[in-house]
Chain A
């Protein structure tokens, strides 16, 4: 019992110690961001590496998720003769929830893990130390552009995911299952509110972008500079970023749409 309490205490202290270090790290990143905008090429390069190179997985996933939503929705709504509502069902599911959440999960797996591994390996091969000795702040030169690039990329990827998902739903529901095209689009337009649905989805994706990228760059920068250390940090990024996404999604959904 005593050992259990001791272990629980140790884990709790370790958790808050890491959270504290991550917060100080975030403060250092934020302090360098204003000067970063004087060198937009650094951010653009990261948007390409983090965002553009993640496009294929987002496009394919969005298409299939939209088609699955359409199919599942059709199978349920056809019993009630309400298949004309499918446009609304697909759009709201994607814009409010699945777009931001699934993009964030995919982003953590594809770009977050890559960010951690890249920064961790730079640390292990003394590239970050080398920069420090050249009087170049690695947080400003390496971490901050990736952090900003991630925050810009994720909401854009989430928007693309939702758009492609809606198109995937259209392909299946209208083109394959024969639901009326006019109903699909008009129901969607009528029932989707810009401020209530789309803006909330955008806010979610921005929050996820900040948290997932923060976890990824921190894990890379804070890792033990060995092969095993980088490997563990990469795993932690995917696990923590995914859990943070799902936990925050519940919190944000409760605040935005819930009556809690």
Chain B
């Protein structure tokens, strides 16, 4: 069995004139938790969409379990996606059905399991994220953090072999954050999943990740274990891990000179 579950090779992807990725190479080992980190707007969510086949790279390949995602037919892509779970940044819960039905949704769509079994499976997943008591609430009655936990239960309900987390810790209180961090690690180890976490929360992510990739300006600027990253001499990594404003990673979006613009010397 190949130990690299996801292989990203020389991927280039642009939006308009701006290159989001310009020759990105990433290897995600089977059964590990890999964190993708980087400044805002660096294309981390786009990377998850490329892996999930919702976007196609302009050049290069994204292979999941040996299959080139961009070359799959819709039917085959959907077969691969049944093995993927994805936690969206917004939760992406269906707003016209309650929490229980949201978690049951993949089971009802893809299986003919008896109602009693669906009930048990859904309650197990909701119990794991601490929201069994909220099963009859509508998504509009949940906070952002709760919605993401429900979305996590939904992502897990079909027992995927791989799961992608897009900012799972955003909006969580300290208690939920701690539970989630351990939950992601324990789910990964117990079920032998391959997990990809896109996050800005450096400390929490470093606690559970086996491998960290730092992306900036369309390229992988560094990668390694959390310890290697903490001790890295790379200015890019140091700036990001320590949250420093000064360094090679620009805080400002590209713009003309500030003074000149204030003085009206820059053409609009």
A-chain residues with CB within 8 Å of residue B19 when the two chains form the complex: none
Is B37 in the interface zone, CB < 8 Å from A? Answer: no
Known: A126-B90, A127-B94, A127-B95. A133 touches B82 (CB 8 A): no
B-binding segment of A81-89, A134-142, A145-153: A134-142
Is B57 in the interface zone, CB < 8 Å from A? Answer: no
A-binding segment of B2-10, B103-111, B250-258: B103-111
Is A7 in the interface zone, CB < 8 Å from B? Answer: no
In addition to A132-B81, A134-B158, 4 A-B residue pairs with Cβ atoms within 8 Å of each other are A126-B89, A133-B81, A133-B88, A137-B78
Is B62 in the interface zone, CB < 8 Å from A? Answer: no
Is A125 in the interface zone, CB < 8 Å from B? Answer: yes
Is B207 in the interface zone, CB < 8 Å from A? Answer: no
Is A130 in the interface zone, CB < 8 Å from B? Answer: yes
- With both beta carbons as reference points, the residue of chain A lying nearest to B92 in the complex is identified as A130
Known: A125-B95, A129-B54. A136 touches B88 (CB 8 A): no
Is B182 in the interface zone, CB < 8 Å from A? Answer: no
Q: How far is the CA of A43 from the CA of B94 in the complex (A)?
A: 18
CB distance from A228 to the nearest CB of B (A): 18
Q: How far is the CA of A130 from the CA of B97 in the complex (A)?
A: 14
A-B pairs, top 3 by smallest CB distance, nearest first, are: A130-B92, A126-B92, A135-B81
Is B52 in the interface zone, CB < 8 Å from A? Answer: yes
20 sampled A-B residue pairs with Cβ under 8 A? A125-B90, A125-B92, A126-B88, A129-B54, A130-B93, A130-B94, A132-B54, A133-B52, A133-B81, A133-B84, A133-B88, A134-B81, A134-B158, A135-B79, A135-B81, A135-B82, A135-B106, A136-B106, A137-B78, A141-B109
- With both beta carbons as reference points, the residue of chain A lying nearest to B49 in the complex is identified as A129
Is B129 in the interface zone, CB < 8 Å from A? Answer: no
Q: How far is the CA of A141 from the CA of B106 in the complex (A)?
A: 12
In the complex, the number of residue pairs spanning A and B with C-beta atoms less than 8 Å apart equals: 50
Q: Is A134 touching B88 in the complex (CB atoms < 8 A)?
A: no
Within 8 A of A (CB), among B81-124: 81-82, 84, 86, 88-90, 92-95, 105-106, 109-110
- With both beta carbons as reference points, the residue of chain B lying nearest to A133 in the complex is identified as B86
- With both beta carbons as reference points, the residue of chain B lying nearest to A141 in the complex is identified as B109
Q: Is A133 touching B54 in the complex (CB atoms < 8 A)?
A: yes
Q: How far is the CA of A134 from the CA of B154 in the complex (A)?
A: 9
Q: How far is the CA of A130 from the CA of B92 in the complex (A)?
A: 6
Q: How far is the CA of A137 from the CA of B89 in the complex (A)?
A: 21
Q: How far is the CA of A185 from the CA of B112 in the complex (A)?
A: 54
Q: How far is the CA of A129 from the CA of B95 in the complex (A)?
A: 14
| B110: contacting residue among A127, A129, A135, CB under 8 A | A135
Q: How far is the CA of A127 from the CA of B95 in the complex (A)?
A: 8
A-chain residues with CB within 8 Å of residue B154 when the two chains form the complex: 134
CB distance from B41 to the nearest CB of A (A): 17
Q: How far is the CA of A125 from the CA of B94 in the complex (A)?
A: 9
Q: How far is the CA of A130 from the CA of B84 in the complex (A)?
A: 12
Known: A125-B95, A135-B81, A137-B78. A130 touches B88 (CB 8 A): yes
Within 8 A of A (CB), among B50-90: 52, 54, 74, 78-79, 81-82, 84, 86, 88-90
Q: How far is the CA of A133 from the CA of B90 in the complex (A)?
A: 14
Q: How far is the CA of A122 from the CA of B92 in the complex (A)?
A: 9
